[in-house]
Amino acid sequence: MVEELQQLPIEKRMVEVVERKGLGHPDYICDAAMNQVSVELSKEYIKRFGRVLHHNTDKSLLAAGRVSLAFGGGKVEEPMLLVLGDRATYEFEGVEIPVKDIAENAARKWFRENLRFVEPDKHVRFQNQLRKGSAELTDIFSRKKGMLGANDTSAAVGYAPMSKLENLVRDTEMFLNSKDFKKQHPESGEDVKVMGLRINDEFHFTVAMAFVDRFISSESDYFRKKSEIIEELRGFMRGQVGKKFRVDLNTLDVRGRGLNGIYLTVLGTSAEDGDCGQVGRGNRVNGIIPLNRPISNEAAAGKNPVSHVGKIYNLLTHRMADQIYNELHGIEEVYVWLLSQIGKPVDQPKVIAVQLITKKNSSDPKALSMQIEEVVEKELDDMDSFCKSLVEGKIAVC
């Protein structure tokens, strides 16, 4: 179904708010690490049995540890705890699968590759709560070859294009966590959160970024390095939005209070001491939290890549929206909705709804609807290769 929306595009509205939780944020860690667990389990299932088996690793809690901060370098008093939860297939056709080892090794690998100062064998404890799946959901994977039935009744929505603020919020965090920036500013931790606000044509950014205490010799050294980073941020943003912007960094800081008045961490993430994380509380699948947009309530990270529509449709709706926007003329914004019905083939949604905001003097609505249908059908026909990319972890989910 195709319908035209009678509303202002996001760029023409007075107020827009966008957030991104970055690489070292506890919620991002849970999403990314648990999705890596799903990828490694999927690869092992394919290696042993030629197909992905029932699993969902989208329930996780990262419980904060405890540290002692100090100028020049503190120490970890108690490690973080990562609870790996939900369901997995431990035995198939008489063959046992070492799910616990695969899951924990995948999470350890993610920590080692993404957080410079976290040594997973030393700084993280793992608690395996992955249990066997229910008989009926597990049986979905044995009923027939070809496209599997959906293992949930669920809806998802994606949109295009991303707004200027959405892109800038995402790009700012990626800039701060880039290899070049970390090389130039090793004191900057991976725990970065960017909150963007646009009021008409003015942009306001509030950035929180952990500073690693081993690189900070004193309170004055902290504020000096903070000023340098703010200037770099301003230079980065000036090239994107011109003069009408403001950026603030670590606004809880207060001079004269020593360690109590500045944002320091031992390992570069607040998960070491100050904050916990959960799957699904971080970014949507396009890398941001867009408060002005309709968004899916499902956590895509860690879900099964061949049967769980909470993952497949979350990502596919954005892909469809991008294709429609980029291939067709006369569209300002497009929203794509997919609804599944449990047990029905994943490539046969209960409903496909496309909502458009069109430009003045745009194409004939009937012709546009036919073009949209062609794009949607093409994407559904390509579902196998799309799911294969999800299995291999080639499509980002946070």
Provide the CA 339 distance to its chain's centre, in angstroms: 21
pLDDT band at 363 (very low <50, low <70, confident <90, very high): low
Domain ranges (residues) in the chain: 2-9+154-162+282-391, 26-142, 164-277
Query: Is 350 a residue whose pLDDT tops 80?
Result: yes
The span from the CA of 242 to the CA of 77, in Å, is 45
Confirm whether pTM is higher than 0.85.
Answer: yes
Peptide bond into 305 cis (omega under 30): no
Fold of 2-9+154-162+282-391: GMP Synthetase; Chain A, domain 3 (3.30.300)
Tokens 């990562």, located at residue: 82
Q: Which CATH class is domain 164-277?
A: alpha beta
User: What is the pLDDT at residue 189?
Assistant: 98
Q: Structure tokens of 49?
A: 């049995």
Provide the CA 54 distance to its chain's centre, in angstroms: 22
Query: Residue range 26-46: average pLDDT?
Result: 97
Nearest Cα neighbor of 118 from 321, 310, 259, 270 is: 270
Please list the residues that pair with 194 across neighbouring strands.
20, 207
User: What is the pLDDT at residue 143?
Assistant: 66
The rounded percent of the chain whose pLDDT value lies above 90 is 89
pLDDT band at 135 (very low <50, low <70, confident <90, very high): low
Phi first, then psi, for residue 179 (nearest 5°) are -60, -40
Cβ neighbourhood burial of 90 (10 Å; 0-12, 13-18, 19+): middle
Chain-wide mean pLDDT for the chain? 95
The span from the CA of 195 to the CA of 16, in Å, is 11
Query: Is 136 a residue whose pLDDT tops 80?
Result: no
The span from the CA of 247 to the CA of 233, in Å, is 8
The span from the CA of 152 to the CA of 145, in Å, is 19
User: What is the pLDDT at residue 327?
Assistant: 94
Nearest Cα neighbor of 288 from 155, 177, 173 is: 173
The span from the CA of 33 to the CA of 98, in Å, is 18
pLDDT band at 240 (very low <50, low <70, confident <90, very high): confident
Q: What is the pLDDT of residues 70-82, one digit of tens each?
A: 999 999 999 999 9
**3-class SS at 297?**
coil
Q: What is the pLDDT of residues 148-199, one digit of tens each?
A: 889 899 999 999 999 999 999 999 999 999 999 999 999 999 999 999 999 9
Query: Is 236 a residue whose pLDDT tops 70?
Result: yes
Asked if CATH classification 3.30.300.10 holds for the domain at 26-142, the reply, yes or no, is yes
Ranges of beta strands (E only) in 295-380 are 331-339, 351-358
Q: What is the pLDDT of residues 267-314, one digit of tens each?
A: 999 999 989 999 999 999 999 999 999 998 889 999 999 999 999 999
The span from the CA of 103 to the CA of 337, in Å, is 32
User: What is the pLDDT at residue 167?
Assistant: 97
Query: Residue range 120-138: average pLDDT?
Result: 88
Q: Structure tokens of 79?
A: 């490690």
The rounded percent of the chain whose pLDDT value lies above 70 is 98
